[in-house]
Amino acid sequence: MSQKIQEDLNYIIDNKLIKTVFQPIVSLRDGSIFGHEALSRITCKDSIKNPDQLFTEAAKHNCLWQLELLCRTKALEAAFVHMVPPYNKKLFINVNPYTMNDESFKRGFTREFLMQYSIDPIKFRKLNNTLRFLIMNILKVY
């Protein structure tokens, strides 16, 4: 099964089979839309069924940065297309903290990409998934 998962993972990354959907983030104060969270979805499903499994397998198979790069690129491209300037909302993108451990990791990628697509960095926020990964690692120890 691991061989099949590796093949599917490579296929998804090589063929860029990720699409971005935007989840509105609503203000509890007044019910207005505060911003949007960019969520990555797999456009083909075989042995990998959902984004959580996709990122878990990418970490196991040492291609987490390639997947993260693909998802960030797709999210920022979709934001550029769908969020017509002047976009006065915040854009949130989930970031896996373990990507920084990957030897392929490129520091400053997101800022460069924001500049390339004229997206104001002040309107951009990265949501760090650290807490979830810390809990998962604690559970592995016990």
pLDDT tens for residues 45-94?
788 989 999 999 998 998 898 999 899 889 888 988 877 665 677 888 88
At 13-49, the pLDDT tens digits run 999 999 999 999 898 999 998 888 899 999 987 889 8
- For every residue of 46-101, DSSP letters joined together read SS--SHHHHHHHHHHTT-HHHHHHHHHHHHHHHHHHHS-SS--SEEEEEE-GGGGG
Q: With H, G, I as helix, E, B as strand and everything else as coil, classify residue 121.
A: helix
State the pTM of this model.
0.76
**Could you give the domains of the chain?**
2-141 (3.20.20.450)
The alpha-carbon radius of gyration of the chain (Å, integer) is 16
